[in-house]
Structure 1
């Protein structure tokens, strides 16, 4: 059981995919289908490690890393279509969601996700999570996405919380990097559990 001193923080900021909700299997399945439609090699771990980045940004890095040619707009549309068929199977990650109820009255709660607004809104609504958040920031709300700090800094600004008094919950290396770039401590979520506390200066 991970021990965290929550008294140090005024605000808790949660990533969505893979942190609050178990959506990564659906996202990765949609990615695999979209890659196969262009007869591209499937390196799904490369995609998984970039959770929190917009699809086109991942596609750009995928193209450069594996030296393949990707029709980005087509991949984006195919990936969206694949996820559209699967999103209703997305479920809560209890270890993270329980914190929302526990701290709803005593902490400011925010959501900072790289998901598109349509996905954020329908998943949060479907799983009855919107009630907990005073601020929600998605891909369309920032110019620079994770691992840049903008998403989390925007949430902190909307919550009127100092970055050093915010604790981020994330599930990917890029999300952790974004939190630390924002000057925020971070809890990593892995295998549906709160797995590790990563202080910004550690």
Structure 2
């Protein structure tokens, strides 16, 4: 099991993609297929480096970088549609599922994601975990995306927990920066290739 930081915690806040759901490889396939229709490139390394950004911000940045004029909402809808078609293949990240099962009913949980509420709901439903989370804070429900702490602070307030008494589970660097900015402890969830190696690097 991934070790928790020292201290007592009143709430657990989880990112969804790459943290609860081992869905990043599926998301990347969905991005590739949706963007290919517009001739855009999105290298896998960049996809993981940009983890935590909202899809709208990603499309806008790719447009700017590659001199494209992809219609943001249309491309985002197409990406979501492809992802939902791939979703039956999603699995939970085992090391995070252990924490969910061990602490469920003892501490309140929230999901804090840069993905849409529809996407997060679909992932958690596919995993049979939707009923575990009292609060969801998703894209479009806060102004400033990670690394800004806003989304985590909204979740803490909704759960009635002081930020210093929350622990965040995150796989993305931007999310870990947001947790630190919120004054919260954090557990880094290793990327798929480190977990598959059998020894997650600290």
For Structure 1 versus Structure 2, the TM-score category normalised by the shorter chain is 0.7 to 0.9
Instruction: Give TM-score scaled by structure 2 length.
Output: 0.87
SS in structure 2 at match of 1:69 = coil
Structure 2: gaps (5+ residues): none
> Contact 2:30–2:79 (CA<8 Å) still a contact in 1?
yes
> Contact 1:14–1:112 (CA<8 Å) still a contact in 2?
yes
2:165 counterpart residue number: 165
> Contact 1:55–1:76 (CA<8 Å) still a contact in 2?
yes
Structure whose residues are more often strand by fraction? 1
Give the drift of 1:149. Answer: 1.2
Distance 1:106 1:81 in 2: 36
SS in structure 1 at match of 2:186 = strand
Residues 1:70 and 1:91: Cα distance change in structure 2 (over 3 Å): farther
2:23 counterpart residue number: 23
Query: Pairwise CA RMSD of aligned residues?
Result: 2.0
Give the drift of 1:106. Answer: 2.5
Distance 1:3 1:56 in 2: 34
Listed as ranges, the matches of 1:7-22 within 5 Å are 7-22=7-22
> Contact 1:21–1:92 (CA<8 Å) still a contact in 2?
yes
1:69 counterpart residue number: 68
SS in structure 1 at match of 2:131 = helix
Listed as ranges, the matches of 1:31-180 within 5 Å are 31-64=31-64, 66-71=65-70, 72-180=72-180
Give the drift of 1:144. Answer: 1.7
Distance 1:130 1:31 in 2: 24
Give the drift of 1:148. Answer: 1.4
Residues 1:92 and 1:2: Cα distance change in structure 2 (over 3 Å): closer
Give the drift of 1:81. Answer: 2.4
> Contact 2:52–2:146 (CA<8 Å) still a contact in 1?
yes
Instruction: Give TM-score scaled by structure 1 length.
Output: 0.87
How many pairs are equivalent? 195
SS in structure 2 at match of 1:13 = strand
Structure 1: gaps (5+ residues): 197-202
Give the drift of 1:18. Answer: 0.2
1:200 counterpart residue number: none
